[in-house]
Each structure stands twice: as structure tokens, then as C-alpha cells.
Amino acid sequence: MCRCCYRPMGIARIAEVERWRRYDGRGDHLDWLAFAVRWLHVITAIAWIGSSFYLVALDLGLN
């Protein structure tokens, strides 16, 4: 049961609550690194798609 609303919680939610309850601050640098790598991946994917559209348009302009 959730203490704030008295509804049953799923297993995943209970595990998340327990993880944050015993959080001690170790591993913050790994969380930030994962965050940075994920956003770098998103930005790279957008740039890749944009450059492919640009190259297709450039190729069509040469014909």
C-alpha cells in the first residue's frame, strides 16, 4: 500500500521507492555520464538525418 494515497503499488514502483529510500549519492557521475551520452546520441541522430536530407536535395539539384 502506498502511504500517501493508500492504493496498492506495483512491484516496479515498490522497487523504485526502495531504491530512492536507500540512495546515498554514490554513482551520480555515472548517471550524468549516461544522461550526456543519451543526449549526444539524440543530437547525432538528428544531425545524421538532417545531413542525409541535405545530401539528397544536393544530389537532386545536380541532375
Q: How far apart are CA 57 and CA 61, in angstroms?
A: 6
Tell me, yes or no, whether 5 lies in a domain.
Answer: no
Confidence at 47, pLDDT banded by 50, 70, 90: very high
32 is in which domain, residue-wise? 25-62
Tell me, yes or no, whether 4 lies in a domain.
Answer: no
Instruction: Indicate the number of domains in the chain.
Output: 1
Whether the per-residue pLDDT at 12 is higher than 70: the answer is no
Tell me, yes or no, whether 8 lies in a domain.
Answer: no
Whether the per-residue pLDDT at 15 is higher than 60: the answer is yes
Tell me, yes or no, whether 58 lies in a domain.
Answer: yes
Q: Who has greater pLDDT, 37 or 15?
A: 37
Only one residue has cell 544536393, namely 58
What's the pLDDT at 2? 54
- Length of the chain, in residues: 63
